[in-house]
């Protein structure tokens, strides 16, 4: 590909802003539009809103998608919600405009098990327009699923897989610290969990991707969510968590087959986490273990994997795709794709 990739940023929150700044660094990408419904952002220059040092970019943020999608767009980078049901209309509108999509929607990372009908609709709409769409990110989308499958490439047999992620949320953005319940009482935390507000999304999607990739016919995917309590006062850039308050979430998900555990996933994401890391284990022939000391910085890595996936989704067969299908690699700032 020698012509520039014409891109639109759909959603200009903290993650969308990070993605836009990274796209701007790629010589092969031209950002031609941006969409966000926030009245404080509509009508403003995208570069100024995302805090880019080279602003203005002369790209105006619009509240409606049509003005941005009418500009011969190749790719829409979408980052508005974790819930597939909430973004279906947005995705369909982008597909109808003939655009490929890379989205950070966690439920889109591997939606066939939880949302089979919506998956069929998106796949059909994409194929009708001859384009492809993908949900990805650091987790789900890479660390706890695609990286596990990549490691399994050197296995002759895999009997059991595990991915454990410990994240120090004090180094992350404010919306994430709020999403994990930092600073709440245990009672507030459990009420918000019951309401579906407090949760890191994506573990069931990662288990479904692994199960299909490893050939495990799992018949049940379960998940538990509990609070991590602060053992000492912790102050972040945005808030303070006192000893005895909730510091974050502890989630465990399992994929079982005939009552036997085949996939284990554990996520501890809380402010002040000690010894953050990502750990993958495979039991089989041979048994393997991979540890990333310090872990993978979610905000930085999410922007990276989304932008690095752009060449792959543009080259992919039409339809709904997943990270399992596509080859991801670094997208150099100046090289042709």
- Mind listing the pLDDT tens digit for each residue in 240-279? 999 999 999 999 999 999 999 999 999 999 999 989 999 9
Tell me: the pLDDT tens digits for 292-315? 999 998 889 999 999 999 999 999
- Would you say how long the chain is, in residues? 337
The predicted model gives 143-168 an average pLDDT of: 97
What's the Cα-to-Cα distance from 189 to each of 94, 132, 244, 267, 315, rounded to whole Å?
Answer: 36, 38, 13, 17, 43
Q: Is 106 helix (H, G, I), strand (E, B) or coil?
A: helix
From CA 183, how far away is CA 161, in angstroms rounded? Answer: 33
What's the chain's average pLDDT? 95
Domain 5-138+300-321 homologous superfamily, CATH? NAD(P)-binding Rossmann-like Domain (3.40.50.720)
pLDDT for 1 equals 53
Q: How do strand 220-229 and strand 319-321 relate by DSSP bridges?
A: unpaired
Q: Rounded to 10 degrees, what is the CA torsion of 143, 147, 149, 151?
A: -130
Residue 185 has pLDDT above 50, yes or no: yes
Q: Is 37 helix (H, G, I), strand (E, B) or coil?
A: coil
Instruction: Tell me if 52 sits within 8 A of 23, measured CB to CB.
Output: no
pLDDT band at 153 (very low <50, low <70, confident <90, very high): very high
Name the more confident of 164 and 198. Answer: 164
pLDDT for 196 equals 87
Q: Is 160 helix (H, G, I), strand (E, B) or coil?
A: strand
Instruction: Tell me if 81 sits within 8 A of 107, measured CB to CB.
Output: no
Listed residue (180, 123, 147) closest to 265, CA to CA: 147
What's the Cα-to-Cα distance from 154 to each of 56, 216, 324, rounded to whole Å?
Answer: 48, 17, 16
From CA 302, how far away is CA 304, in angstroms rounded? Answer: 5
From CA 244, how far away is CA 16, in angstroms rounded? Answer: 34
Instruction: Tell me if 22 sits within 8 A of 303, measured CB to CB.
Output: yes
From CA 206, how far away is CA 145, in angstroms rounded? Answer: 5
Q: What DSSP letter does each residue of 276-305 carry, written as one string?
A: -EEEEEEEEES-EEEEEET---HHHHHHHH
Sorted by where each begins, the domain ranges of the chain are 5-138+300-321, 146-295
Tell me: the pLDDT tens digits for 55-114? 999 999 999 999 999 989 999 999 999 999 999 999 999 999 999 999 999 999 999 999
Q: What is the DSSP letter of 9?
A: E
Report CA torsion sign: 5, 78, 176, 297. negative
pLDDT for 16 equals 97
Residue 337 has pLDDT above 90, yes or no: no
Instruction: Tell me if 54 sits within 8 A of 47, measured CB to CB.
Output: yes
pLDDT for 174 equals 83
pLDDT band at 2 (very low <50, low <70, confident <90, very high): low
pLDDT for 335 equals 59
Residue 176, H or E segment? helix 174-179
From CA 129, how far away is CA 300, in angstroms rounded? Answer: 32
pLDDT for 176 equals 84
Residue 230 has pLDDT above 50, yes or no: yes
From CA 129, how far away is CA 143, in angstroms rounded? Answer: 31
pTM above 0.85, yes or no: yes
């Amino acid at each position: 590909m020698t012509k520039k990739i014409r891109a639109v940023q759909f959603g200009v929150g903290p993650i969308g802003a990070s993605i836009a700044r990274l796209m701007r660094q790629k010589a092969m990408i031209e950002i031609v539009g941006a969409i966000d419904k926030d009245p404080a952002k509509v009508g403003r220059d995208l570069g100024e809103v995302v805090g880019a040092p080279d602003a203005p970019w002369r790209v105006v943020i619009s509240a409606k998608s049509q003005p941005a999608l009418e500009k011969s767009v190749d790719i829409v980078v979408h980052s508005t919600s974790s819930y597939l049901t909430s973004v279906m209309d947005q995705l369909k509108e982008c597909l109808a405009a003939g655009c490929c999509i890379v989205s950070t929607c966690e439920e889109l990372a591997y939606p066939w098990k939880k949302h089979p009908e919506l998956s069929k609709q998106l796949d059909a709409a994409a194929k009708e327009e001859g384009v492809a769409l993908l949900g990805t990110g650091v987790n789900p989308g890479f660390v706890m699923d695609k990286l596990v499958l990549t490691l399994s490439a050197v296995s002759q047999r895999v009997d059991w897989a595990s991915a454990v992620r410990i994240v120090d949320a004090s180094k992350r953005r404010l919306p994430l610290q709020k999403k994990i319940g930092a600073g709440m009482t245990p009672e507030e935390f459990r009420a918000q969990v019951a309401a579906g507000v407090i949760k890191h999304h994506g573990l069931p999607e990662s288990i479904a991707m692994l199960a299909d990739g490893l050939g495990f016919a799992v018949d049940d995917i379960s998940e538990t969510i509990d609070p991590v309590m602060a053992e000492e006062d912790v102050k972040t850039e945005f808030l303070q968590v006192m000893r005895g308050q909730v510091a974050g979430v502890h989630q465990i998900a399992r994929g079982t087959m005939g009552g036997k555990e085949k996939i284990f996933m554990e996520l501890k994401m809380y402010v002040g986490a000690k010894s953050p890391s990502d750990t993958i284990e495979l039991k089989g022939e041979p048994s393997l273990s991979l540890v990333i000391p310090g872990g993978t910085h979610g905000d930085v890595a999410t922007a990276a994997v989304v932008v690095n996936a752009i060449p792959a989704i543009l080259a992919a067969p039409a339809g709904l795709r997943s990270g399992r299908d596509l080859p991801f690699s670094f997208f150099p700032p100046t090289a042709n794709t």
